[in-house]
Every structure is written in C-alpha cells, then in structure tokens.
Amino acid sequence: MNESNFKNQIDLSSSVTILPHIGAIYGKKLLKLGISTVKDLIYHFPLRYEDTRTITPIKDIYADPTKIWTIKGYVKDITNTKTKTGKIVTIALIDDRTAKAQAMWFNQPFLISSIRKNSDIILSGKTIFYRSKLTFYSPQYEIVYKGRNIHLGVISPVYPLTEGISQKWMRRRIKYVVDQIDKGIYIEETLPLYVRNKYRLPLLKDAIKMIHTPQTYEDVLIAKRRLGFEEIFWIMVNWLKRKINFKRKKAYQITIDRNLHNLFLNSLQFTPTKSQLKAIEDVYSDISKDIPMDRLISGEVGSGKTLVAVAGAIQVASSKKGVVIMTPTTILAQQHYKTVKKLLKNFNIKVSLLIGDSKREDKEEALESDVIIGTQALLYHLDRLKNIALVVIDEEHRFGVEQRDTIVREMGKIPFIYTPHRLTLTATPIPRTMALVFFGDQDLSTLKELPRGRKKVITKYISPQKISSLYEWIKKYLNNKKRRFFIVCPLIEESEKLQTKALETEYEKLKKVFSNYKIDKLHGKMKEQEKIEVIEKFREGETQILICTPVIEVGIDIPTANGILIEGAERFGLSQLHQLRGRVGRGEEQAYCFVSTENQSIQTIKRMKYFCEINNGFKLAEYDLENRGPGEIYGKKQSGMPNLKVASLTDTSLIKEAKEAAIYYLKKEEKSSAVIC
C-alpha cells in the first residue's frame, strides 16, 4: 500500500502489518522480536549507535585496514568482473571532486542494480591498495536520494534483529513511523507536568524521536534518561501503592515471649550469626504490630534463612495462631519439614507436611497442625485453614508468575479475618539497587555471614581439553564410598524438553566413563515421587554420582555431597552458578566445585575466573547486574521481573530520583483524591 495513504491513519495499537512494506511474512519475523503493534515497533530501542558523521575528502584518505573511513561522492562507474578463480567482483569508482577511490565487493553481482552510475553515495569502511589503487574493501553503502540519508553520515541506531531482517530494513520501518509523530501518530504523555519540570525531562514524544534519530550523543543521553526514568518511576509507583494498600490491612498482633526466644536459641547446637539475630529481631518487630509484615530475607547460600522463619513461627504458634510455610517443590517441602521438625522437637508445636501426594487422612491431620509445610497444593485447602497469622514463602521467584499472584491474592481472602504476616525467603543475594526497584514494596533483611566453621568451596575452571583428567580425579575422589558428586548438565532455558534430552545424552555418555560407579539422573520432567526417590538414594549412598539439570539449584541439602561439576557454565549467570556451588560444602569435609565451558572466548574465561576467585554471592550478583542484567541473577525463565528496556540498575542516581518522584507523585495524588471526595 502507498505510504501517502497511511498518513493520519496510524494508531499505536494497530497491527504492525498495516505499515508500508510490512506484510504477513515480515509480521511473523517481527513477532520473534516481540513486535506486534505499531507501539511495539517504536518501543524497539537501539542496542547501540554507529557514528559515521565525519566525512573525509578522498584526497586525505590513505590505505589502512584498521581504520574506518567515511566518504560522500557520486558513482562515476560500476562494473562486474570475474577473478581467475571464478569469483564475481563488483567494482565501483567513486568521485567526491577532490579525488577518486574504488569500492570493491565480492560475490554480490546484484549490487550493480542497486548502485547506479551517477548516483549520490556514502561509503563507510576500511581501505587497502588493490592494483595500485586506493580501494574500499566491502564497505557499507547508502544511496542518497533527494539529499536524505539515514544509515551513513549520521549517528545511526543499531537494533536487535532476527533472521530475515536487516539493520537497513529495520531503520527504514522505524524511521517511517517516527516521522509520523505529530502528523499521523499521537504519542500520549505519561508523566505529569510537575514531575517533568522538577526532574528536567523532555516530552515522551521528543524522547522517542531522539532515541531513534539522534542528532548528537547528547540527544541519546537525554532520551535514555527520560525513558529510563519513566520505567523505574512507574515500577516504584506500583510498589508503593501495593505497600500502602497492604499496610492498611489488619494483622494479628503477636506478643513476643522473650523466655521462649531464649529457650529456642539455647536449644540450637550452633550459635546463630549476627545477621541472623538481627533478621529475627526485624521479624519480631514486624509481627508485634497490628499491620501485616511484608519482609524479604535475602541471604548467602547456606546462611540460615530457615532459622529466622522458625524463630518467628515459634512465637506465632505459641500465641495459638497458625503458620504456613510454602515451597515451590515437593523436595524442598520435605526438606523443610525435616529441618523445622528437628528445630522444634523440644517445643509443644505440631508440624505437618501437606503436598499433592499426601494421603487424605494425612491432609486432614495436617490442616489441624500449628505449622503446615507444603507446596502450592495448600492453596486447595484455604477454606480449611483457621487463624493463620504467618505465611512464609520460600524461594518465591521459583513459583510461576501466575502461581505467585494466586498465592498473594488467595492468602488475603476469607477465611482470614486478619491478613497474615508475610515472610519471603530467597537464597539469591540481591544487590541494593535491584532490591529497591524489584522488591520496593517489601522490607528487606540481609544475611551476609555463613555459619562458623564453614569451609570455603575450592572452585576451579576446567577447559574442555582437560575434562578427561577431571573424570579421572573424580574416580579417585569417589574411592571414599561416603562421598557423593553432582554433575550438572548445561542450561537450556528455551525448552525443558531439550534440557531433558541433553541430560539423557550426557547420562549415557557418563555411564560409560564411570562404569564402575553407581550413577543416576535427575531432571525436571520426572514425577515428584521419582525425584524424591532419586534424592534419597543419593543421600543414603546407593548412588555416588548424580547427573542432573539445574533442578538441584535450590533445596537439596546433602552434607556428604562435596563435589560438583557444572558443564556449559557460560550459560548460567554467576548467581545461578553460586546457587549450584551452594549444593556442596555443607558438611565438615573440604568441598570442590568445577566449572567447564563450551565457549572459550576471552570474556567467558574472564567470567569463570572471577567466579572461581569470588565466594561472595553479593559480589557475584553485583557483577551479573552490571555486566549481564537483572535476569541473570534469578534466571530469565519465571523471574517475573519487569522488563527494563532502557533503565540501568547500576544508575543509582536515576533510581533515587525516580523513587523520590514516585513518593512525590503519590502524595499529590492523595491530596487530589481528598479534595475530590
């Protein structure tokens, strides 16, 4: 359809396929990039920019295969010729009226139809001497039509692409839409005037124009600041609204029994760390109020988050109120059940397990307990739960996004006259800025210390060439029959089916390598009961080597497992690798972690060496955040985090301003509502 017919007819919610030169075929390709509407297209922001604004006269250019030159002239001549080996070479002669230069492309004979004689042209590329002539070798080019150029001679955006879509095609399509802003496209302003004025932010429509068609790099910075500010601002507004609404509800006010607290601490066979004691006091302070607690405990792997939850649970249960502890997996539920029951063995508190496979009579008994530990199967029995005053959600991000929303929604419904206090646990260390943005509605307690006497896990990088030597070391290591060893297969986040298939292949290979050893496998597609049986065999020593997917990342605590090999380690974020490393080193014996990679790039080896040197989960999380983004900390699949296209979580000043603005905005909105009422 003709472009002129589209003016004044484009709506942001319209399908992108209504645009000129985008039909059904290109529409399908764009879907792979998450682009289905016109709005999606203009919010498809550049990854970076290329600056070819400096035009050099040909007379000043010399041959340099390391330097990029840009020239502007006209095509004096263009021909296709063949080399002795049969390759087709397209040679164009370019004249800028200061001198002449050749441009040469191999095996692209169609260029002679695109680059016509006497056309105005811009070239950008490296130069060599070819047959004693200054020659641009396979340069980028753009034919300048009616004085317009969008690819070269400008600051040009470089976009994320997919197969079948080129940078030039993407730039033209986005530029066409951007050019229609204020003509046929209306961009609604989303930030209040007083916020824009206070923080010196341009209009949204101007920011969108600048990020796609910047005239200077200052334009890029201004656009990114506005768009990034807005991303953080609305996340903050939503978090703060949730926090305000949550705090308006009523909760059971728990009286803290200090004698009971001391009895609990004295019953432990170890001394809690300072940060554990501080987190316990945070919980006590929260549950002693009549507004619901909403606290997140973030800590190092093995830092003792469960102890904090149990300390709170004892106080609640002794007040004749109920406690629910929810986990994302049956394995983790069973482990918590054993741990909590052991911690409470000296107290008159009934602890029960309720999972999908529980028998009917066991479920009935569990529902009458003081502390109920289970999976999302608990959600089917909410109508039977009475006087629940504390809900502990362990590894909340491991629940699917929909499951989490259900947990939060259902726990606030009848039969709860009072809203339960909510305590969330995560074994993933969370950087401060990330906590502020993604967990802004929750109060945060951080556990940074490990229990006394815990040995540092020795971590080593193993190149593919040395993997056979490692296998021999593992065999000698396992001659001690009490030892266990994990081998984790590479992460394939795109498909659990592919993940399982990869594990099966690796399992068959390693069965031959370790033919004299007891070996088993564990993956996410197995039934819950199968997983439990595999883990128990491994725990009891019936299995020495467990080949597994990252399903073991959270929840498996086997003190005799002191060795782990993580294959394809470059596919994991460093925080995820740290979680896997946390599966070993829980006993008294020295533990070992080995990471091997398929990719041996300089950047990959640098990341692996950093991981081997650093045992601090918070430092690793900061590294991930700075170098690979927030998705790497929790893993991309099911992290449920807002998708930040522009804002950087390392930009602390922007985050601070956005939070300040969100508070300012809500205060003004509240005053406006009061006036209206």
The DSSP secondary structure of 479-548, one letter per residue, reads TSTT-EEEEEPPP-TT-HHHHHHHHHHHHHHHHHHTTTS-EEEE-TTS-HHHHHHHHHHHHHTS-SEEEE
User: Per residue in 493-548, pLDDT tens?
Assistant: 545 666 667 888 889 999 999 999 999 999 878 887 888 899 889 989 999 999 99
Query: What are the distances in angstroms from CA 236 to CA 201, 240, 302?
Result: 18, 6, 31
pLDDT of residue 675: 37
CB 321 within 8 A of CB 419: no
**CATH numeric code, 258-447:** 3.40.50.300
Alpha helices in 256-413 (DSSP H): 258-267, 274-287, 305-318, 330-343, 360-366, 401-411
Q: What is the mean pLDDT of residues 452-480?
A: 91
Q: Confidence class of residue 553 from pLDDT cuts 50, 70 and 90? A: low
Give, in degrees to the nearest 5, the angle at Cα 259 between 255 and 265: 110
Residue 638 has pLDDT above 60, yes or no: no
* Angle at 91 (CA atoms; ends 89, 94), nearest 5 degrees: 165
For residue 465, what are the contacts with CB-CB under 8 A and spacing of at least 6?
A: none
- Among 125-134, 443-452, 482-491, name the most confident range: 125-134
Give 2's DSSP letter: -
* pLDDT, position 377: 78
User: Would the CATH topology of 258-447 be identical to that of 458-634?
Assistant: yes
Predicted pLDDT of residue 281: 97
pLDDT at residue 436 is higher than 70: no
- Quote the CA–CA distance of 27 and 35 in Å, as a whole number: 8
Q: For the stretch 348-360, what's the b/e string if a residue is b when 16 or more beta carbons lie within 10 angstroms of its beta carbon? A: ebebbbbbeebee
Distance CA 167, CA 156 (A): 10
Q: Identify the CA nearest to 440 among candidates 448, 428, 432, 452.
A: 432
* pLDDT the model gives residue 407: 60
Query: What CA–CA distance (Å, rounded) separates 437 from 641?
Result: 10
pLDDT band at 408, cuts 50/70/90? low
CB atoms within 10 A of CB 523: 23
Closest by CA to 173, choosing from 212, 224, 122, 204, is 212
Given a contact cutoff of 8 angstroms between Cβ atoms, the answer to whether 56 and 71 are in contact is yes
How many contiguous H segments (helices) and E segments (strands) does the chain have?
A: 22, 21
Return all residues near 677 (Cβ < 8 A) that are at least 6 apart. Answer: none
Output the pLDDT for position 399: 59
What does the domain layout of the chain look like in residue ranges? 3-49+158-179, 54-153, 258-447, 458-634
Share of the chain above pLDDT 90, in %: 55
Phi then psi for 103, rounded to 5 degrees? Answer: -125, 140
Report, as an integer, the average pLDDT of 287-295. 93
Give the residue from 413, 377, 351 showing the smallest Cα distance to 528: 377
Contacts of 554 (CB under 8 A, 6+ apart): 328, 329, 332, 395, 398, 427, 579
458-634: in CATH 3.20.20.80 = no
First to last CA, the chain: 52
Asked whether the beta carbons of 54 and 40 are under 8 A apart, the reply is no
Degrees to nearest 5, angle at CA 614 with 619 and 480: 135
Beta-bridge partners for 140: 124
Using pLDDT thresholds of 50, 70 and 90, give the confidence band for residue 304.
confident
- More reliable by pLDDT, 376 or 566: 566
Residue 613: what pLDDT?
A: 94
The kind and range of the H/E element at 76 are: strand 64-82
272, burial (CB in 10 Å: exposed 0-12, middle 13-18, buried 19+) = buried
Query: What is the structure's pLDDT at 109?
Result: 93
The Cα 256–Cα 315 span in angstroms is: 6
pLDDT averaged over the chain? 87
Secondary structure in 3-state letters for 367-410: CCCCEEEECHHHHHHHHHCCCEEEEEEECHHHCCHHHHHHHHHH
* CA 321/CA 323 separation, integer angstroms: 7
For residue 273, pLDDT beyond 60:
yes
CATH of the domain spanning 54-153:
2.40.50.140
Distance separating alpha carbons of residues 83 and 106, to the nearest angstrom: 10
Rounded Cα–Cα distance for residues 227 and 230 (Å): 5
